[in-house]
A and B are shown apart, each in its own frame.
Chain A
Amino acid sequence: MKKAVVDTWVQYLHYMKIELRSPFWILASLFQPVCYLYLFAPLLKNVSDTGGASAAGSIGSINSFAPGLLVMIALFGTLFVGYGMIDYLRSGIIERLRVTTASRLSLLLGLVLRDVTTLLVQTAIVFVLSLPLGLVITAPAVLLTAALMVLVALTISPASYAIALIARSEDAMGPILNFFSQPLLLLSGMLLPLTLAPLWLRTLSDANPLKYVVDASRAIFRGDLADPAVWRSFALMAVLVVVSFAWSLRQMRKATE
């Protein structure tokens, strides 16, 4: 047990060190959220100003848009981490690590915790950049949102590694990720609330786990921490984290056979 913790920590530090050596990528990863905050969010304000449905009354507010944006960053920030895994697989790193006495779980956790850290930094930056746009939020709400983002990353990042271990090439990886990411994005209500959607689309979106995350983070941003959507999404994501890790560990064993 102690060895597993040390192994995880040692690898986490290693991956963080490598990541911090190329600050360009960290800056580049912030470009998308900045664009959405400053170039897209103002559009929504006008949508609400020109009337629109009563349900859309709140969409002009940054408090409604920022939660969706955070979930979007969580999705796209962690969905593509598998590309790195393909490189590691090809260069024999995964095989070498598998023959050491470090456990598979620690190998995976070292990478996933790096992804979680990156996401938390991005989340913090979105919070800060939203303040000038009129974001009003309490400290407990910030922490609860961050916890929810961690759960999303802990689900999607291992899944991305699992997909990479199956795909084994960048060429195969791209289409697979698009196949998943577009419906996950559009059916979550990240950009526009699904209250605007026709009934069939709303029914379809019920199958998307990220919809519950978006609902929960909107509730948190409203200050409604006791909303049942909050604990429900936490419970759902906790289950998905376990499923995702189990899948990824299994693929890691198969990939080095």
Chain B
Amino acid sequence: MDMIVTQGLCKTFKSKGKDKGTGKDAGVEAVRDVDLRVREGEIYGFLGPNGAGKTTTMRMLTTLMAPTRGTATVVGHDLFRESRRIRQDIGYVSQKGGAYEYASGYENLVLQGRLYGLTRAEARDKADRIVLQFDMADYARRIVQTYSGGQRRHVDLGMGVMHDPKLLFLDEPTTGLDPHSRARFWDVIRTLRREGITIFLTTHYLDEADQLCDALCIMDHGRVVAAGSPEELKREVSGDVVEIGLDPANVAQAAGLLEGMGGVCSLETTENSVKLLVESGETVLPAALPRLVQAGIAVARVEMKRPTLDEVFQKVTGRALTEAEIEAAAGGGGAGSGAGSGGGGWT
């Protein structure tokens, strides 16, 4: 079963002032015609600069905000009519977390479980298990106010899974965490996925999307501009670069052998290596190396470089993510701020 399916999902906010040109109250289109499909068991990444409409989309999918139009089902329930059922089946961890500062992590967990209909015994039992699983025993009984950023995130995440949701929403889960805490948090998320929880997370860290997610989509100016697995997306942008290091004497001969091989898009040589741009490194390399070896050419080293999500982002949006962040900050975070939307030539 698909965990999330949306078609043409839109959110238009009433704008405070009227459009200067037409005098009409056009509203701000924060999210436009978003089609999503999240499969069961995936870690799905929702990527984009601040103000792209990620959080708005997530707030619609978590029943906090009513969509303006479109259709959507979440865990098989209609988003427009069955928000109660959706709430029972999803967990949501917002950017701010939302733990009570003056209660302990453990108390926060138990209360959250109680609000989802667990009995006191069930809630305590589940909280005990989460404390063990998330390695929170050292601090679970202290009040949250004393926690570090990483510890807080563990409590927030624990609250999100107290009622064993089928689908867990995480809004910018690792923003502001140090690299060590981030890595630990990723481990916990992977553990949850192994337990069968589908995870939908927003992020503006490309490396996070790359390392953690099975599938992702890139959002910009309220639209989905690309979707697929990280590998697919990267392959669409450009192929892999394979570099084979050789004795300088053999470079010309090797280039002759490899030129025109299936899957090789282009080839260039350096003083002591041959560089190939290939569609997929894992199909070309096993064929290329025996050719060289049969011709008696010794291979000194082999390197393969895949394109990064940064390059993907740059291609589909026409600018680097860091630039988009600066633009969003300068433009007051307006998602549909008109000029330049869809400017990447991506349709």
Contacts and interface: CB of A to CB of B under 8 A. Distances in A.
Interface in A79-107: 90-102
Contacts of B181: none
Nearest to B160: A96
Given A14-B103, A21-B102, A101-B88, A91 B97 contact: yes
B137 interface: no
Contacts of B159: 96
B159 to A, nearest CB: 7
A99 B95 contact: no
B64 A95 contact: yes
Interface stretch (A3-11, A61-69, A135-143, A171-179): A3-11
B115 A101 contact: yes
A92 B94 CA distance: 7
A91 B98 contact: yes
A18 interface: yes
B102 A10 contact: no
Contacts of B102: 18, 21-22
A6 to B, nearest CB: 8
Interface in B47-63: 59, 62-63
A95 B87 CA distance: 13
A96 to B, nearest CB: 3
Interface stretch (B1-9, B33-41, B106-114, B276-284): B106-114
Contacts of A58: none
Interface residues of B, number: 29
B103 A99 contact: no
Nearest to B90: A99
A101 B87 CA distance: 6
B145 to A, nearest CB: 11
A91 B101 CA distance: 9
A244 to B, nearest CB: 24
Given A92-B97, A95-B96, A99-B92, A11 B115 contact: yes
Contacts of B100: 14, 18, 93
Nearest to B143: A21
A96 B92 contact: yes
B157 to A, nearest CB: 12
A18 B88 CA distance: 27
B84 interface: yes
Contacts of A97: 98, 115
Contact of A98 (B64, B84, B112): B64
Contacts of A257: 59, 64-66
A164 B290 CA distance: 73
A120 to B, nearest CB: 22
Contacts of A92: 94-98
Nearest to A15: B100
A256 interface: yes
A195 to B, nearest CB: 46
Contacts of B103: 14, 17-18
A205 B65 CA distance: 42
Interface string B247-290: 00000000000000000000000000000000000000000000
Contact of B114 (A10, A18, A91): A10
A14 B114 CA distance: 11
B112 A93 contact: no
List the 7 closest A-B pairs by CB distance, nearest first. A92-B96, A92-B98, A96-B98, A102-B115, A99-B92, A100-B115, A10-B114
29 contacts: A6-B114, A7-B114, A10-B114, A10-B115, A11-B111, A11-B115, A14-B103, A17-B103, A18-B102, A91-B96, A91-B98, A91-B99, A91-B101, A92-B94, A92-B96, A93-B100, A94-B98, A95-B94, A95-B96, A96-B97, A96-B98, A96-B159, A97-B115, A99-B63, A100-B112, A100-B115, A101-B87, A101-B88, A101-B116
Given A99-B62, A100-B115, 17 more contacts: A3-B117, A6-B114, A6-B117, A10-B111, A10-B114, A11-B115, A14-B103, A17-B103, A91-B98, A91-B99, A92-B94, A93-B98, A94-B98, A97-B115, A100-B116, A257-B65, A257-B66
Interface of A: 3, 6-7, 10-11, 14, 17-18, 21-22, 90-102, 256-257
